[in-house]
Amino acid sequence: MLEVPMADKPRVRMLTIYLYIPNIIGYLRVLMNCLAFALCFSHKGLFVILYFTSFVCDALDGWFARKFNQVSTLGAVLDMVTDRISTACLLVILSQIYRPGLIFLSLLALDIASHWLQMYSTFLSGKASHKDVRDSTNWLFKLYYRNRMFMAYCCVSCEVLYIILFLLARRQNEDIIDVLMTSGKQSLPLCFILVLVLFGWAIKQTVNVIQMKTAADVCVLYDINMKQKP
């Protein structure tokens, strides 16, 4: 049996982490999203299949990570970056289709800012995960991160709402309120789905605001503590 030289062992360990099953799923998600957005205007149906499959794989990689004890920092970062970029790209597209487009750009900014601040505040606090919110005093924030089903409902609601809006668009510069009202009146099942996902979407945006404020407070308290040290 050949023994791996000591100098090569760190490289072998690095390669092992790169090839974790959850990380491979993460690479596939990136490829699916790239292909989805390349085809989004020419093949809407295929775009939805690829985009939503990538979104579903977000839950699968976490399951595999826990099942095979393959949790890694690379996987966590890849997971969040893929989520944020894919949602951001879809929001940019919607901002070009609907008016006022500033709504979607504001949602994009809130999503990026709240998650970036949360990650940075996690680093300052010395926590292992940005989902560790046990010291938070906000009940909705704690419920969101500590109840997987509730979080899944809110996240799925956001993505389904954005996909529905993308599918409903027939031309550029459509008024988003008119499209939602007209579509809801034309189909009772669609109206029910819209109400359901709009509720989850609203909760997700509220959590993003709470998350941003909570994370900003952690950064400020960190500065105060640093200045008080001799």
Q: Say if 161 falls within a structural domain.
A: yes
Per-residue pLDDT of 23-80, as tens digits, reads 999 999 999 999 999 999 999 999 999 999 999 998 888 888 888 899 888 888 899 8
Of 204 and 228, more confident: 204
Strands (E), the chain: 98-99, 174-175
Q: Which range marks the domain in which residue 148 is found? A: 6-228
For 81-147, the DSSP string reads HHHHHHHHHHHHHHHHHEESTHHHHHHHHHHHHHHHHHHHHHHHHT-S-TT--TT---HHHHHHHH-
Tokens describing residue 119 = 């990650």
- Domain assignment present for 61: yes
Cα 114 to Cα 214: distance, rounded to the nearest angstrom? 9
Counting the structural domains of the chain, the total is: 1
pLDDT classification of 196: cutoffs 50, 70, 90 = very high
Say how far apart CA 35 and CA 86 lie, in whole Å.
11
Domain-located, residue 1: no
Q: What is the CATH number of the domain that holds 28?
A: 1.20.120
In a domain, 80, yes or no: yes
Closest by CA position to 107, among listed 122, 123, 87, 124: 87
- Separation between Cα atoms, residue 171 and residue 98, nearest integer Å: 9
The catalytic residues are 83
Count the alpha carbons within 13 Å of 181 in the hemisphere toward its beta carbon: 5
